Each structure stands twice: as C-alpha cells, then as structure tokens.
Amino acid sequence: MTALKNDRFLRALLKQPVDVTPVWMMRQAGRYLPEYRASRAKAGDFMSLCMNPQFACEVTMQPLDRYPQLDAAILFSDILTIPDAMGQGLYFETGEGPRFKKVVSTLADIEALPIPDPQKDLGYVMDAVSTIRRELNGRVPLIGFSGSPWTLATYMVEGGSSKDFRKTKAMLYDNPQAMHLLLDKLAQSVTSYLNGQILAGAQAVQIFDTWGGNLSAAAYQEFSLAYMRKIVSGLIREHEGRKVPVILFTKNGGLWLESIADAGADALGLDWTCDIGNARERVGSKVALQGNMDPTVLYAKPEAIRTEVGRILASYGKGSGHVFNLGHGITPEVDPEHAGAFLRAVHELSAQYHD
C-alpha cells in the first residue's frame, strides 16, 4: 500500500507529536454539501449510495477535495448495515429516518439471527473500503466504523428510531437473558465487521455508541460498555506495519469517561456537553481525546466559530493526544463555507500548542 503523506491523525490518536492538531468531522460526507446531494440524486437514494462502492468512494472523497485541511477520510456507509445483513430489512422513509421490515421482540427471534460474514454478507462495504483506500493514494488515513451493539439493538427492537426506547428498555429489564444474547451476537458481528474493514484498508476504526448515554449508569456498564470492551479486545490492532487505533464514542457518556478509558481503546470521542480540559484531567495519559465542538456552532459567523475553536484548543492545552472534531455529526443546514472556516481555524490556531 502507498505510504501516508499525512499521518498526523494516526499520530495524535497514539499521543505521538504532531505539528498541528488534526481535524475531521463526523458526517463530513453529507447533505450540507451540494456535491453530495448531486451524487445522491444520481444514485437514486441513500442505500444505493452506500451499496455501490464507486458512489461510496465518490462521496467520501468530496469533502477532502473541498477542504484540504481535513486530516482523515471516513468510510461512507451507515451504522445499520449489520442488522440489515442479519435479515432485518433496512429501508429509509423520507423524513422519518431508518426503518426495519422485521423487528426483534422475543428470545426465539434473537436465537434465529445469523452472525453476518463480512465478505459474503457485507462485501459491498469491504469493496467500498478498498476502493476508497486506493483512491486516497496515501493522502490521509481512512477511518472505518460501526455502531455499538447497544445502539444497533435499539433499532432492531424498536424497528427504527425512538425517543424513549420503551421496547428496548422493557426487554433489558424484563428479559435480560434475551438482551444479553442479542448484544453478544452483535458484538461478534461488529468485531468481524471491523476486522474485515481493517483488512480491506481501514487504518483506524470508530465505534459509534449513539444511544448509550440514554442508559442508567449501571445499565450502561452492563449492556453497552461491556460489549464494546469485548469488541476492542477482539480487534486487529496492527496491520500493514503500523498500529490501528480504536476510538470509542458514547454520546452523552461524559459521566463515565474513566470507565470508557479503561475499555482498551486508544481514544475517546467526546460530545459537546463535556469540557475537554476537564476530560483530559480525568483520563490522564490513558487515551487520546477526540472532539468536541457543538455542531450548531457552525451556524454562527466564521469569527464566532474561530473563537470557539480557540477556546476548545486552550482548554485541552499543550501537547498531542487531541483530534479536533465536532461533538456529533455536522448537520445538513450548515453553510459549507462555515465548515471551511472551522477547519482552517483548527490548523491555524493549534500550532502554538505543539512544539
């Protein structure tokens, strides 16, 4: 494989020295970009973008072509590819988000679920990874990803998005045996899926625990973090002669940073409700930190965006181990010029924090 021309993202995740703080954006290939909207229209719908490696590559590259400051590319896909490969029948309703034709509601439903083979059942994702990696040609590292077992389980039990997770939480408390079996199958599936992405060319991986923060402290440890820890322990951590860093991101997980830092990953993603300086004090040198500007700051004027970037950099302070990102995905209504101002500000203002 081609040598990396810019590896500061990987270096920062491993707390190695960098010249400036690396930056990328969750959902950086998305609806805020007119070129993305054009590709999606050409593909026909969202799933056609995901399942066609050429389209997935095209939209992955779009933000990099627009913003030379980006220090990483992230695979264009969806967190719900695994439940879809388990036979749940993923589809998207306009304005309603993801839906499943089948839901999981009983122990028998869960026992019948297969564990997908990354090559046979999710080969289109592996093809997208290898296609993107080839197209990048060493420009920046490629991030692979998956949803966490708990987050995937909520969609499978609810049949789609939920505000209160009533069916999932009822199963958790009424039938913990069934929930643990579902989470264990999902942990096995996520492990093999991420390892497949690494072998196909992903140089770092992130686990998105979008809904872990909706659990109680005790339930988070038992039903979310325990399974992410299991995944981390089963991942390929070195490939192509260098380490493959792992990032764990639990939205609204700020109360449990110490526990998450002990899970074996290289970095923790922070949402915007945490102070990054305080988070650094709490986790010490155990892990790098990724984050954590409120995505809605990008609705403000470039001068205000720059001020907030400066505040977060100052809060983290000197030294490596910080990957700048938003505290969650960029939203569709953001002006692309504001995203550019954000990315430029990170590189321009961060040099002073690195020797």
Catalytic residues: 27, 31, 40, 78, 155
239 marked ligand binding residue: no
C-beta separation of 345 from 310 below 8 A:
yes
Evaluated on CA atoms 71, 73, 79, 82, the torsion sign reads negative
C-beta separation of 251 from 209 below 8 A:
yes
210 marked ligand binding residue: yes
Phi first, then psi, for residue 74 (nearest 5°) are -125, 135
282 marked ligand binding residue: no
Burial (CB count within 10 angstroms: exposed 0-12, middle 13-18, buried 19+), residue 296? middle
Residue 19: both structure tokens together: 């010249």
Alpha carbon 214 to chain centroid, angstroms:
18
28 marked ligand binding residue: yes
31 marked ligand binding residue: yes
Distance CA 122, CA 54 (A): 15
29 marked ligand binding residue: yes
44 marked ligand binding residue: no
37 marked ligand binding residue: no
Alpha carbon 88 to chain centroid, angstroms:
22
Query: Beta strands 90-93 and 97-100: pairing type?
Result: antiparallel
347 marked ligand binding residue: no
Residues annotated within a binding site for substrate: 27-31, 78, 155, 210, 328
Residues annotated within a binding site: 27-31, 78, 155, 210, 328
